[in-house]
Amino acid sequence: MNLTNLILIVVILGVAFAVVRKFLQKRQNEKSDEKIQVDDKTYTLETMTEFVKKRLDEITKINLYDIGLSEEELKRRKNKKYELKKALKGCTYGDINDKRYVKELIYDLLYNEYGVDEINVSKAIPFDVPSLLTAQDKFDIILYMYKNEFGYEALTEIIKKYNLADLKYIAGDSKPSYVITPEEINDIYEKENFALTFQDKLNVVVQRIYQHYKGYSSIDEIRDMNIDGISGGVSGLPESFLSQVAQTDSDYLGQIAEHKVPRACDSIWIMFQGKSIRLAFLSFGTEAELKRVCQNIYKFNNPGQLSDTNGYKINEMKDGSRVVVVRPSMSETWAFFVRKFDVKRATLEQIVRFPGKEDTIDLLKYLVKGARIISLTGEQGCGKTTMLMAMIENIYETMNLRITETAFELHLRRIYPTRNILSMRETETISGQECLDVQKKTDGSVNIIGEVATDPVASWMIQSAQVASKFTLFTHHAKTFPDLVTALRNSMLRAGVFSDERTAEEQVVQVLNFDIHLVKDFRGRRYIERITECIPVEDKNEYTYNYRNEKTMEGKIEKFMDNATIYFTKSTNRELYQYRNILEYHDGEYVLTNPISEKNIKEMLNNMDDNDAEEFKKFVKRNWGIEAHRDSEMIND
């Protein structure tokens, strides 16, 4: 009996040993197969991206309570998990610190877990064979190397060094344009002749993986640079057009398939120092990738859903950039516009750069210190917002600033963190009129309206200038001074504030003191074209009672007709205002022309402190030969 049991035990152990051995052999074979797979396919960008997605998903979803950690380790791992979740969310909003954190984690995963080394890193991007690198690969390498040296000025340095912002002719175009071509990128890469370390190569790979996973595709690094803005989906053929072409013109469709004709997803433009430049060497690759970027780039602070019924969104990003996104069917294709404002460069000394700048800068400072109501006009991209930010520096520290904007753009607290500043904007449930009503109760001295672009906003501006603040600054898109007055007048009428044209216009010209008109020419230069003063025409009583002295009826009727003529002249075509240029831009320099009116000079002096008032008197005397006095000084005299 015991012998039988012993034999049975031996047989069972033998079978168990054979099963375990077979299982281990199978695992070894699987590992060998896996190793062969790794050598052949694993180190492509697509496969590594999938690995990164899977690992980060595992890290953020793991249940830490199931793995038997000590209390201290559990707390540490929970903090790390929370930090990663926060970074993965924040990096999609344009937060540079969160982006850096996520990229460092991806680097560690690829290097420590995935086994990327100096040999297989070139299977993702062929660093060692320049002829196999695409223009985008080369640009990524160039930008990475320059960023190591110049930080967020890297793109500016590249463009300036190689004159990439110059007008140029490209094949097939009869007119010059601002464009950076693949050939130019190839030449730059060849001239630079970079010696990349393994760390450099892996960092370039990490950036490529990141931008397709959590970033903004091909524009991810460019968006972070110190440029004026970037947009996509604004040129090339939309997808809807391609289906129409397919039915009618097979040859044209073949050209599109060979990428000879740009598609909407090949459209990437940057705004650089006033010039709109097309990046012909970059592409989103597919319409789906452009759509993904558009759906993510506006999401900061949960502004609501971009849908077919709500086909656009205006918002700001984490770094203060303004972003506008549109989608079909409102627009013909998905598109986005990111506008950046470089607060470090928002000073008058850096903006006003042509001969005559000293007097121009002084004049701008005195207008603000003198509490004048000022409009800044000009086309899009001419520098109105930047000029507004620069002028605010000269408002006295004792004055409280209240800002009304469509989307937060000025971010004045970043520049002046110790000043009393509050910005408000419209929301889906709170109107701009309500914002203004609230601001009237917040002890504000200066009201700043970011952009007067709609009728209600124009009426807010007039209201705030009349009763809500000491003075007002605002921007507008008018081309001439009469256009500005007419546009504001018409806005007042359409908003229902007034029903009579003359009354509305009288209110506008009584409020408006000065207009600073900015221009961006075809070379991308931005400058002040003119500074214009608005002078309301006083309504004098010109009627006479001479008819009483007339003895005959004919004489009385004649005097009555004189008064009637004056009445009808005033009622029909009487001028409500005059305007004259105080400063003009002529032949590359700023020239002071007509003097400021006596009334405005007095009011400006009354609003300045003693030191500024004395300097302003000297300025007026030097340039226009006028002896200026405050009201109190004139009484003493």
Burial of 516 (0-12, 13-18, 19+ CB in 10 A): buried
Q: Taking a C-beta distance cutoff of 8 angstroms, is the pair 410, 318 a contact? A: no
Which pLDDT band, with edges at 50, 70 and 90, does 531 fall under?
A: very high
Between 427 and 232, residue with greater pLDDT: 232
| Interatomic CA distance for residues 517 and 594, integer angstroms | 16
User: Please, what are the domains in the chain?
Assistant: 123-342 (3.30.450.90), 344-537+576-594 (3.40.50.300), 538-574 (no CATH)
Q: Going by C-beta distance under 8 Å and a sequence separation of 6 or more, which residues neighbour residue 234?
A: 267, 269, 335, 337
- Which has more confidence, 341 or 376? 376
Determine the average pLDDT of the residues in 597-614: 92
How far, rounded to the nearest angstrom, does the alpha carbon of residue 293 sit from its chain's CA centroid? 16
557, amino acid identity: I
pTM for the structure as a whole: 0.74
Handedness of CA 478, 481, 486, 488 (dihedral sign): positive
451: confidence class by pLDDT, cuts 50, 70, 90: confident
Tell me: pLDDT of 562 over 60.
yes
pLDDT grade, residue 199 (50/70/90)?
very high
Tokens of 134: 């695409």
**pLDDT for res 254:** 56
Binning pLDDT at 50, 70 and 90, where does residue 519 land? very high
8 A C-beta contact, residue 487 and residue 478: yes
Q: Which position has the token pair 């600073």?
A: 516
Q: Tell me, what's the pLDDT at 342?
A: 64
What's the pLDDT at 277? Answer: 93
DSSP 3-state percent helix, strand, coil across the chain (nearest 5): 55, 15, 35
Q: Tell me if residue 539 falls in helix, strand or coil.
A: coil
| Region of residue 559 (left: phi > 0; alpha: psi -120 to 50; beta: else) | alpha
Least Cα distance to 461 among 446, 449, 470 occurs for: 449
Average pLDDT over residues 581-603: 92
- Starting at the edge strand found earlier in the chain, the sheet holding 421-425 runs 421-425, 401-405, 446-449, 471-476, 374-377, 514-520, 526-536, 577-586, 589-592
Q: Which residues face 535 on adjacent strands? A: 578
What letter does residue 201 receive in the DSSP assignment?
A: H
Cis, peptide link before residue 329, omega less than 30° from 0: yes
Residue predicted with more confidence, 10 or 557: 557
DSSP 119: T
Query: Would you say residue 398 has pLDDT above 70?
Result: yes
Q: Which pLDDT tens digit goes with each residue over 83-121?
A: 888 988 888 888 889 999 999 999 999 999 888 888 889
What is the tens place of the pLDDT at every residue in 311-347? Answer: 999 888 888 888 999 998 888 899 999 988 765 657 8
Please give the Cα distance from 156 to 222 (Å, whole number): 10
| Rounded-to-integer distance, Cα 113 and Cα 71, Å | 26
> Is the model more confident about 26 or about 417?
417
Tell me what pLDDT residue 341 has.
72
Q: Which amino acid is at 245?
A: V
| Confidence label for 515 from pLDDT (cuts 50, 70 and 90) | very high
Cα–Cα nearest to 381, from 278, 526, 514, 279: 526
Model confidence at 471: pLDDT above 90: no
Q: Are strands 471-476 and 374-377 parallel, antiparallel or unpaired?
A: parallel
What confidence category does residue 556 fall into, taking pLDDT thresholds of 50, 70 and 90?
confident
Q: What is the pLDDT of residues 141-153, one digit of tens each?
A: 999 999 999 999 9
Question: Is the pLDDT score of 295 beyond 50?
Answer: yes
What percent of the chain has a predicted confidence (pLDDT) above 90?
Answer: 37
The whole-number pLDDT of residue 405 equals: 79
Instruction: Give the integer Cα–Cα distance in Å for 192 and 200.
Output: 15
In the predicted structure, residue 252 carries a pLDDT above the cut 60: no
For range 367-376, the mean pLDDT: 93
Mean pLDDT of 254-267: 70
Dump strand ranges (E) for 194-243: 229-232
Query: Greater confidence, 259 or 587?
Result: 587
Band of pLDDT at residue 37, cut at 50, 70 and 90:
very low
Q: In whole angstroms, give the CA distance from residue 331 to residue 394.
A: 41
Query: Can you give the pLDDT at residue 198?
Result: 93
pLDDT at site 32? 38
CA 284 to chain centre: 20
pLDDT at res. 409: 76
Q: Is residue 64's pLDDT more than 80?
A: no
Residue 166 has pLDDT above 50, yes or no: yes
Listed in sequence order, the residues at least 6 apart from 251 whose beta carbon sits closer than 8 Å to its beta carbon are: none
Residue 370 · residue 607 · CB < 8 Å: yes
Q: Which residues of 197-217 are buried (b: 16+ CB within 10 A; e: fewer)?
A: eeebbbbbbbbbbbbbbbbbb
**Cβ contact 534:515 at 8 Å:** yes
Radius of gyration of the chain measured on its C-alpha atoms:
34
Cα 164 from Cα 173, distance rounded (Å): 18
Return the pLDDT at 167: 87
Mean local confidence (pLDDT), 587-607: 92
Task: Report d(CA 327, CA 307) in Å as an integer.
Answer: 8
Q: For residue 192, report the phi and psi dihedrals to the nearest 5 degrees.
A: -70, -40
Greatest C-alpha distance within the chain: 160
**Is-contact 529 513, C-beta < 8 A?**
no
Share of the chain above pLDDT 70, in %: 86
Q: Please state the rounded mean pLDDT for residues 585-600.
A: 92
- Place 203 in a pLDDT band, splitting at 50, 70 and 90: very high
Question: Across the chain, what does the average pLDDT equal?
Answer: 83
Examine the pLDDT at 235 and tell me if it is beyond 80: yes
Nearest in space to 155 (alpha carbons), one of 282, 300, 332, 291? 282
Which distant-in-sequence residues (6+ apart) come within 8 Å of 60 by Cβ?
81, 84, 85, 88
pLDDT at 73: 79
Q: How confident is the model at residue 363 (pLDDT cuts 50, 70, 90)?
A: very high
Q: Greater confidence, 240 or 313?
A: 313
Number of other residues whose CB lies within 10 A of the CB of residue 290: 28
- In one-letter notation, the amino acid at residue 409 is E
The lowest-confidence range among 26-35, 375-384, 485-494, 621-630 is 26-35
Question: What is the number of H-type helices and E-type strands within the chain?
Answer: 24, 16
pLDDT band, very low/low/confident/very high, at 35 (cuts 50, 70, 90): very low
